[in-house]
Structure 1
Amino acid sequence: MHRIVWGRATSSNVMKVLWALGELELPFERIDVGGAFGKTDTPEYRAMNPTGLVPTLQEGDFTLWESNAIVRYLGQTHASGTKPWPTDAHTRATIDHWMDAQQTVLNRPMSGVFWGLVRTPPDKRDLTAVAASIEETARAWRMIDAKLQHHDFIAGADFTLCDIPWGVHAHRWFGMDYQGLTRPELPALRTWYDRLCQRPAYQKHVMATPIA
């Protein structure tokens, strides 16, 4: 099966899909679209993904968009019944709610930090606004840190699909230049991040990509 991921490698949402594919050892082709590459407003792309966002997964005649939905689809089709995507309904629902919490709890304030520090030139940064975004983002990370004080990964003892959405942003959280702004000390979160850094697919698809 010819599998294509449409999206630039520096997109956090694209990284989720690439990392999931790497964990599952699934072959794919990636085509640069979005951001500086453009091409997401073309009729051809909009026919696949009417939002005009990235990523989009294409497998033959089947297309799918929304990063977490793609990660779940890959889990269902290639890892169902395994530790990353178990079949028990309660366990899977727990993984699901942590995956979606990344979008509803972390995404907005984390975007404020990222855009304020990475996408804004130093002389134009509003450090007061960035500091407020860091504090709000830290509340989300404290929630994860509390879970990680009891086990190695977010949903329990094993790596699961819900570690992927949070793990992509953890690399940015620990890797961005804060220029005098501080993050709270969250030892369990840092240990989890260090654990992710040992995973080859994380190294290849998240850590090796510039924070840009």
Structure 2
Amino acid sequence: MLTVWGRANSINVQKVLWTIGELGLAHERVPLGGSFGGTADKSYLAMNPNGLVPTVRDGDAVLWESNAIVRYLAAKHDTGGLWPEDPLARARADRWMDWSATTLSPAMTPVFMATVRAPRGTARPAGFDAAAEKLASVFRMVEEGLSEADHIAGPRLTIGDIPIGASVARYMRMPIDRPTLPRTEAYYARLQERPAFRTHIMIPFGTCQEEWDALEKQYG
């Protein structure tokens, strides 16, 4: 059985859990990171020297980096599905995974932290409007990427959709102004029809209930 270490409201953990859900794989999750702590423990660092989540154990194999884990699970369990067999089709999906890490995530992080993760009532920092517009320009690229098919890399769900879809879900629910993105909005609606997406992505992404429970237990 797979073991996943990480808190359920981490987008990187969610990518792995969504993939596991799509593949119907038995797994257990160990809450870790955020209010749970544990990422600096020696036992955890022995598995993942970055001290980040997620980490996955599959038998004797231990993996970290969410996109690498998604690729591994798809290649092992769903060749021809999430993992396209055709090299060009796979490269088209793969490039969106890389782009999400190098372009989308860095643009989203400052806006996310200034809105969703900021304490209530906190004023938005200087430069917020510019950061929000930069993020909007990134999602205009997603909008263009969806101009030829229902999914980001073709007609069906692939590994490319995992990070893009998870990020779209966050962007669409963030308390900010957004440009009109009809194809992206339709894509988001299609993804919500998938049970694994609803289960693992469509959850509160500020501080989820399990984190509140952990805080209450700690500080009572």
The two structures have a TM-score, normalised by structure 1, of: 0.94
CA contact (8 A) 2:93 2:159 kept: yes
State the partner residue of 2:166. 168
The runs of 5 or more residues in structure 2 that have no matched partner are 207-220
- Residue 197 (1) aligns with residue 192 (2): yes
RMSD: 1.1
Q: Secondary structure of the residue that 2:56 maps to in structure 1?
A: strand
Q: Does 1:183 align with 2:178?
A: yes
Measure the CA separation in 2 of the matches of 1:25 and 1:70. Answer: 15
Q: Structure 1, unaligned stretches of length 5 or more?
A: none
% same residue = 46
Q: Tell me the secondary structure at the aligned position of residue 84 of structure 2.
A: coil
Q: For 1:188 and 1:88, locate their aligned partners in 2 and report how far apart those are by CA, in whole Å.
A: 26
* 8 Å contact from structure 1 (residues 3, 27) kept in 2: yes
Q: Distance in 2 between matches of 1:125 and 1:167?
A: 29
Q: 1:77-156 alignment to 2 at 5 Å?
A: 77-80=76-79, 82-126=80-124, 128-156=126-154
Query: What is the distance in 2 between the residues matched to 1:37 and 1:131?
Result: 32
Note if contact 2:5-2:54 (Cα within 8 Å) is conserved in structure 1.
yes
Distance 2:72 2:82 in 1: 12
What is the SS of the residue equivalent to 1:124?
coil
What are the residue-to-residue correspondences of 1:26-105 with 2, within 5 Å?
26-80=25-79, 82-105=80-103
Query: In 1, Cα distance between the equivalents of 2:31 and 2:120?
Result: 28
Q: Distance in 2 between matches of 1:24 and 1:149?
A: 27
**Preserved CA contact (<8 Å) 2:15 2:163:** yes
- Contact kept? 1:117, 1:125, Cα under 8 Å: no
Q: Does the 8 Å CA contact 2:10/2:205 hold for their aligned counterparts?
A: no
Instruction: Measure how far apart 1:113 and its partner are.
Output: 1.1
| Equivalenced residues, count | 206
What TM-score do the two structures reach when normalised by structure 2?
A: 0.90
2 CA distance for matches of 1:168 and 1:23? 14
Give the CA deviation at 1:128.
4.6
Q: 125-134 or 49-58, which moves further after superposition? A: 125-134
**1:126 Cα deviation from its structure 2 partner:** 1.8
Deviations 1:144-187 (A, max 9, x none): 10121221010011111111101111111111223xxx211011
- Alignment map for 1:12-31 (pairs within 5 Å): 12-31=11-30
Moved more, 126-135 or 183-192: 126-135
**Corresponding letter in the other structure for 1:150:** E
CA contact (8 A) 1:138 1:183 kept: yes
